Chains A and B, each alone.
Chain A
Amino acid sequence: MLQVDSGFERAALVDSLLNSEQYAANWARYWRDTIFYRRTEERSPIVMGATEDYLRRALAANRSWADVATDFVTAAGDGRQNGNAGLIVAQGGRPEETVSEVSRIFLGIQIQCAQCHDHPTDRWTREQFHQLAAFFPRVSARFNQEERTFVVSGQDRFARVQRPNPNRFVGMPEHLMPDLNEPEKPGEAMQPIFFVDARSLPFGATDAERRESLAAWMTDPQNEWFAKAAVNRVWSELIGRSFYDAVDDIGPDRSPISPEVLDTLADGFAASGYDFAWLLRTVALTDLYGRRSIESSPERPAAWIAPYRVPLRSDQIFDRLVQALQVNERQLPTVRRERGMGPADARRGLQTLFGFDPSDSREEWAESIPQALFLMNGPVVDGFVRGENGLSARVMRETDRLEIQVDEIYAYSLARLPTDEERSVVRRHLESVPERREGLEDLHWSLINSSEFLHRD
């Protein structure tokens, strides 16, 4: 099933793409969104740029995915300097939320369902959830108003009397599991025990011991879920559907589609030393990935016939727009400014309209009316479609030949040439309008407003 195409050209192309800046930028944004779309600390986006930079550097240097995960779990310091603090900051340093996200993102296991009661469908108990939270009680993420940043720290010295603090400006020596019958009481102290393999630390362990141990146990090749979570996500991004129903809800009580493919990739990924680019390259070189996409439908069970058509993420649409309009990123006007999101450049602005949580199933994606209106009538598109600044006018200044003009508009807009049928539709359209430029502008506009523009076909 997993035939690797040995064609030299494709392999060379994949390699050159993996060596490009866009590869690191694209996946850095993917993981940034994975972390920040589930933020429970609304001010955390102020460190988002730093987290993206950290990820971009880590991916460009092809650091082991285990080291990246370790960095996120053991982070400390100013979140705007140390981008790997982003995950903890996104959850305001609260231990329950932080460990839920560590588990969901790096292990693909949604243990947080066991926060208040034993997991309804999986084996995890409420104790196990709070034992996991016990790796993080000494961590805090304090908002620094003057510097407009969050500072993550772990402390090992405590005042004699501690009270649980919902704002988590200070850590606690041990994690307390609330008594559901008596929520006013402080709760029961929990020992740090890793739910996957029951390895544990004693009460009183230092913050560093706790978080370093958790990172080491999580990324231990003995723990299959670390590799599987990453494989499942990469596969889902490239092939359009994950091995499991969700990219972030896997684990021993879920059954994957074609486990042999998943196992092969997960074993290879672990054996490579969690080399993220190896994983990308391996999936990208499959025969499957090279085929033309098909639509997934709820009726059809997932089978790996061809990649599924997927909606592009906001950053990908932005890159496509820059390409289609043939502009420099900085030439684009801002879309709008959102509260607490920092200055909205055009890319960030687009995210407020087109962004979605990459952990969500793409099956549930739906285009919205404001998105359609932005592409139809917004100044960004219109400014570079119509008039002297428009792509049509620019293309017409380069060449008089209609066929080349049409080809260029297609190539810039959709990264392909028109089919014969499309050519005849375009020809008829151009004949029906008084001026060629107007007709070409209409074509350009229509391609940007097509369904294909928003998808990877």
Chain B
Amino acid sequence: MSDRSFVTTDLTPTRRGWHRRDVLRSAAMGIAGAGLFGWQATLAANAATLRRQGKACILLWMQGGPSQLETFDPKPEHANGGETRAIETNVSGIRLSENLPQLARRMDKVALLRGMTGKEGSHPRASFLMHTGYLPTAALRYPTLGANVAHQLGDPTAELPSFVRIGRGARADSGGGYLGVKFDPLVVADPTTPPENTAPTTETARFRRRLSLVEQLESTGSAHPRGMADHRELLGRASTMILSPSMSVFDLERESEADREAYGDTDFGRGCLLARRLVESGVTFVEVGLGNWDTHQDNFEKSRELCGQLDQPFARLIEDLEQRGLLESTLVLCMGEFGRTPKINPRGGRDHFPRAFSTAIAGGGVRGGQVIGGTDDSGSEVIDRPVEAADLFRSVYRLLGIDPDHENMSGVGRPIPLVTGGEFVQELVS
């Protein structure tokens, strides 16, 4: 028996347009055509077809709860604002904290939700809420946003997974939930090395030989044909992925030095660059984590340092996506689980504050250069256009072309909608 049966060769068009494998295949066949158009051009032409079809989402997850006052909603005129000054952006009338100078130059692409409000002040519960749109319950394991988006939009036959999570700050337990392990993210702990266990430990010929041996041995016992078939299919998918040329998407060395430098020399910057590469290769959802925003002490110094890590990659990501024609189809979300107390505590820190905070959204059809909602002068109350988690999730799904009322069957046999309640934040697109 040959090992070919481990490599699926279907050429079916999918929900996201043409199969990525077709792109690679035509790229391979394009060697012939390369004389006419060149390799890169052939690849790019196919990639462009993909882009028109697929929506994607990048979540920049600010774990710990960033201070809105040091990021998107500075209050320099009030004592609560502390030492953080505000700077002008490229949109007149909108000011950001001085910690985000590069983003300020891309403000025309970004919409700020300054009226975010909630009740959950504990990290795990709020983080769960802002990842799923629901509060945790013992009865149900809700899928995380990335899993739901991958489930709705991802190409199940693609070589690359539909949902990738980058960085160590990401939560361990928010995956596919009741959608199943199929929708758990592929985790890339360190963007400079490929995801875990994706390099065969032996040369390819021997790896294939081993796979073939598994198959031959399993073919001898037919007591569990369904299980064997599922297992064979899975080994096929896993090995197709790791032997596929698409795996080179994880190799940042393939970017020019200038392109790498543009994202900065930090893990988060490299994560954002990888996110762009993944989206460009057809991955549906990428989450990139940046941790340690829990600034109970020395808030100003820590926020400045963290914003230093966030600012350049976030700004560059928007610019890069735009230059590649991907910004319209790629929604970029930057948020944490809650905000921080406007009142500065005696240790120069700010504590948990879910009542009024901010998130930033760009791309994916969002009208940039606007502020939606707002807080009072002291930053302690939302006085305009409050937006809760359910409103935000409803809006994100809508922007991605997903029906927020779509119901999935949960483990307990009850249909659960992607979002319960909430309203679409119309201002995002008008």
Closest residue of chain A to B175, judged by CB?
Answer: A368
- Please give the distance in Å from A183's CB to the nearest CB on chain B: 11
Closest residue of chain A to B215, judged by CB?
Answer: A446
- Complex interface bits, A397-435 against B, C-beta within 8 A gives 1, otherwise 0: 000000000000000000000010110011001000100
Q: Does A455 contact B (CB under 8 A)?
A: yes
Contact among A245, A419, A433 with B221 in the assembled complex (CB-CB below 8 Å): A419
Cα–Cα, bound, A366→B230 (Å): 9
Query: For window 293-342 of chain A, which residues contact chain B by CB distance below 8 Å?
Result: 293-295, 297, 309, 336, 338-341
CB within 8 Å for A336 and B139 given contacts A364-B411, A450-B214? no
Contact among A295, A352, A369, A457 with B238 in the assembled complex (CB-CB below 8 Å): A369
Cβ-defined contact, B411 with A419, below 8 A: no
Cβ-defined contact, B223 with A112, below 8 A: no
CB within 8 Å for A451 and B228 given contacts A41-B124, A294-B223, A443-B213? yes
Q: Does B217 contact A (CB under 8 A)?
A: yes
Report B-chain residues with C-beta under 8 Å of the C-beta of A78: none
Contact among B124, B125, B227 with A451 in the assembled complex (CB-CB below 8 Å): B227
Cα–Cα, bound, A49→B121 (Å): 27
Q: Does B254 contact A (CB under 8 A)?
A: no
Q: Does B136 contact A (CB under 8 A)?
A: yes
CB within 8 Å for A100 and B138 given contacts A249-B412, A449-B235? yes
Cα–Cα, bound, A334→B234 (Å): 25
Report B-chain residues with C-beta under 8 Å of the C-beta of A43: 124
Cβ-defined contact, A442 with B206, below 8 A: yes
Cβ-defined contact, A368 with B184, below 8 A: yes
Report A-chain residues with C-beta under 8 Å of the C-beta of B122: 167
Q: Does A127 contact B (CB under 8 A)?
A: no
Cα–Cα, bound, A457→B222 (Å): 12
Q: Does A97 contact B (CB under 8 A)?
A: yes
- Please give the distance in Å from A156's CB to the nearest CB on chain B: 26
Cα–Cα, bound, A7→B418 (Å): 55
Contact among A38, A245, A292 with B223 in the assembled complex (CB-CB below 8 Å): A292
Cβ-defined contact, B200 with A376, below 8 A: yes
Cα–Cα, bound, A29→B149 (Å): 33
Cβ-defined contact, B198 with A446, below 8 A: no
Q: Does A382 contact B (CB under 8 A)?
A: yes
CB within 8 Å for A370 and B223 given contacts A422-B217, A429-B213? no
Report A-chain residues with C-beta under 8 Å of the C-beta of B237: 369
Cβ-defined contact, A369 with B139, below 8 A: no
Q: Does B182 contact A (CB under 8 A)?
A: yes
Cα–Cα, bound, A447→B221 (Å): 13
Closest residue of chain B to A352, judged by CB?
Answer: B172
Q: Does B398 contact A (CB under 8 A)?
A: no
- Please give the distance in Å from A443's CB to the nearest CB on chain B: 7
- Complex interface bits, B204-218 against A, C-beta within 8 A gives 1, otherwise 0: 001101110110111
Cβ-defined contact, A339 with B171, below 8 A: yes
Report B-chain residues with C-beta under 8 Å of the C-beta of A245: 413
Q: Does B180 contact A (CB under 8 A)?
A: yes
Q: Does B94 contact A (CB under 8 A)?
A: no
Majority secondary structure, A binding face: loop
Cβ-defined contact, B238 with A376, below 8 A: yes
Give the total of A residues in contact with B, Cβ under 8 Å.
70
Cβ-defined contact, A449 with B210, below 8 A: yes
Closest residue of chain B to A294, judged by CB?
Answer: B223
- Complex interface bits, B148-181 against A, C-beta within 8 A gives 1, otherwise 0: 0000000000000100000011011100000011
Cβ-defined contact, B234 with A367, below 8 A: yes
Cα–Cα, bound, A368→B237 (Å): 10
Report B-chain residues with C-beta under 8 Å of the C-beta of A382: 201
Cβ-defined contact, B199 with A377, below 8 A: yes
Q: Does B220 contact A (CB under 8 A)?
A: yes
Cβ-defined contact, B182 with A361, below 8 A: no
Cβ-defined contact, B198 with A425, below 8 A: no
Query: For window 287-314 of chain B, which residues contact chain A by CB distance below 8 Å?
Result: none
- Please give the distance in Å from A145's CB to the nearest CB on chain B: 12
- Complex interface bits, A346-375 against B, C-beta within 8 A gives 1, otherwise 0: 000000100011001100101111111110
Cα–Cα, bound, A440→B330 (Å): 49
Closest residue of chain B to A449, judged by CB?
Answer: B214
Q: Does B24 contact A (CB under 8 A)?
A: no
Cβ-defined contact, A376 with B234, below 8 A: no
Cβ-defined contact, A295 with B226, below 8 A: yes
- Please give the distance in Å from B146's CB to the nearest CB on chain A: 15
- Please give the distance in Å from B180's CB to the nearest CB on chain A: 6
Closest residue of chain A to B226, judged by CB?
Answer: A295
Cα–Cα, bound, A457→B223 (Å): 9
Q: Does A53 contact B (CB under 8 A)?
A: no
Cβ-defined contact, A336 with B196, below 8 A: yes
Report A-chain residues with C-beta under 8 Å of the C-beta of B238: 369, 372-373, 376
Q: Does B231 contact A (CB under 8 A)?
A: yes
- Please give the distance in Å from A336's CB to the nearest CB on chain B: 7
Residue of A39, A167, A422, A452 most packed against chain B (CB within 10 A): A452
- Please give the distance in Å from B25's CB to the nearest CB on chain A: 22
Q: Does A153 contact B (CB under 8 A)?
A: no
Cβ-defined contact, A446 with B227, below 8 A: no
CB within 8 Å for A101 and B412 given contacts A340-B172, A373-B198, A382-B201? no
Cβ-defined contact, B235 with A372, below 8 A: yes
Q: Does B193 contact A (CB under 8 A)?
A: no
Q: Does B239 contact A (CB under 8 A)?
A: yes
Cα–Cα, bound, A270→B249 (Å): 60
CB within 8 Å for A446 and B217 given contacts A43-B124, A455-B227? yes
Cβ-defined contact, B184 with A450, below 8 A: no
Contact among A40, A297, A360, A369 with B234 in the assembled complex (CB-CB below 8 Å): A369
Cβ-defined contact, A369 with B186, below 8 A: yes
Report B-chain residues with C-beta under 8 Å of the C-beta of A340: 124, 172
CB within 8 Å for A112 and B138 given contacts A297-B226, A451-B228, A457-B223? yes
CB within 8 Å for A421 and B210 given contacts A341-B172, A373-B238? no
Supply 30 A–B pairs (Cβ within 8 Å), ascending by A.
A97-B138, A101-B138, A110-B139, A245-B413, A292-B223, A293-B224, A295-B226, A364-B411, A366-B182, A366-B230, A370-B197, A371-B181, A373-B196, A374-B196, A376-B207, A376-B238, A377-B200, A386-B202, A421-B221, A425-B216, A425-B220, A433-B209, A445-B210, A446-B210, A449-B235, A451-B231, A451-B232, A454-B231, A457-B223, A457-B224
Q: B: which residues have CB within 8 A of A?
A: 119, 121-125, 128, 136-139, 141, 161, 168-169, 171-173, 180-182, 184, 186-187, 189, 196-202, 206-207, 209-211, 213-214, 216-218, 220-221, 223-228, 230-232, 234-235, 237-239, 241-242, 411-413
19 additional contacts (CB under 8 A) given A246-B412, A422-B217: A38-B139, A42-B123, A100-B139, A112-B137, A295-B226, A336-B196, A339-B171, A357-B141, A369-B241, A372-B234, A373-B198, A374-B197, A376-B235, A377-B201, A421-B221, A438-B206, A449-B210, A450-B214, A457-B223
Top 8 nearest A-B pairs by Cβ distance?
A42-B124, A451-B231, A338-B172, A38-B138, A373-B197, A368-B181, A421-B220, A372-B238
